[in-house]
A = this chain, B = another copy of it.
């Protein structure tokens, strides 16, 4: 059915070997012959069969991407970064998501075996040793935001600890003494690091830690809403809330609005991620900016290096900074949207 290299060879009056050499520039071919072959290929609309090609070359031209979820702006932005870089490096993306449990990841991994030249894996809920045991050997892997204390694998992380510490320090600098924390999911590495950062900032400032100010959550708006509502019932109330991510901060904002509590006057608020809608809330949200698409781009870059270098290359571990973006929800007079505010064009 489809046009193969044989058809091109026949029509061009040469052997398939010559066609292959001509089209891939992988060997000597007389200039004239090559031109003719290329013309024929074009005319026949020939496209090499990638299965056959990767059967022999052992390259598929694809990178596998394993994510725990796709929901929300974080993943949207992450994939965007990955996709851009992958396209630039001539790779396709094999996407698979909605994996939390190790068993699901293992299944997805099995499905990708042999189909990809490299893997980008984000599995915040799986312990590194477990993860390593189910990861295929022989295929380059870049771990995203995973503990990976053990460094037999490339990994790429956001400085959750530093970002959280910076934000909470800022809240404390505003004079707040009871700063609450809306926690992320249990056993989620990002969440744990942000918690560590929160506690470190408290310690740095000599502010006493209070158990009742750490509220469990799971990164959803609903949890943020419930958490803030619970905090409002405390006596004395906290005067500032740091949410482990923006989605929870949004939920908290809703709860505060519903309760008639003014932000930032009666309650300061800050989030983490700097999701794009963070600047559109009222008041605009102070948060830690995570360079999400850059995270994706770097992951692909590392993978591309690994693929080229084989297993000889030493493993890398990179950390991207999460820098605070000051807007108004913390009590600062952020002039209309913070550092990354939309321009008021055509005024």
A136 smallest CB distance to B (angstroms)? 9
- Pick from B77, B95, B336: contact of A93, CB below 8 A: B95
Asked whether A346 lies within 8 Å of B226 as measured between CB atoms, the reply is yes
Q: How far is the CB of A341 from chain B (nearest CB, A)?
A: 9
Chain B's nearest CB lies how many Å from the CB of A76? 4
The minimal Cβ–Cβ distance linking A145 to chain B, given in whole angstroms, is: 18
Q: How far is the CA of A76 from the CA of B73 in the complex (A)?
A: 7
Q: Which residues of B contact A15 (CB under 8 A)?
A: none
Assess whether A103 is interfacial by the CB under 8 Å rule.
no
A92 touches B112 (CB 8 A): yes
Interface residue tally for chain A (C-beta within 8 Å): 65
> Which B residues lie within 8 Å of A2 (CB)?
114, 138
Q: Please give me the residue from chain B that is nearest to A62 by CB atom.
A: B94
The reply to whether the CB of A230 lies closer than 8 angstroms to some CB of chain B is yes
Interface contact A76-B71, CB-CB below 8 Å:
yes
* A to B CB contacts below 8 Å, 18 in the list: A2-B138, A47-B110, A51-B54, A70-B79, A75-B76, A76-B76, A79-B79, A79-B95, A221-B342, A226-B345, A229-B346, A229-B347, A251-B342, A253-B280, A254-B342, A258-B336, A277-B277, A281-B281
Which chain A residues have a beta carbon within 8 Å of chain B's beta carbons?
1-2, 47-52, 54-55, 60, 62, 69-73, 75-77, 79-80, 83-84, 87, 92-98, 110-115, 138, 221-222, 225-226, 229-230, 250-251, 253-254, 257-258, 276-277, 279-282, 336-337, 342-347
Contacts A47-B110, A50-B115, A62-B94 known; 20 new A-B pairs at CB < 8 A: A1-B138, A2-B138, A47-B113, A47-B114, A70-B76, A70-B83, A71-B76, A72-B73, A72-B76, A79-B95, A92-B95, A92-B96, A92-B115, A93-B95, A94-B95, A221-B280, A222-B343, A229-B344, A253-B280, A280-B281
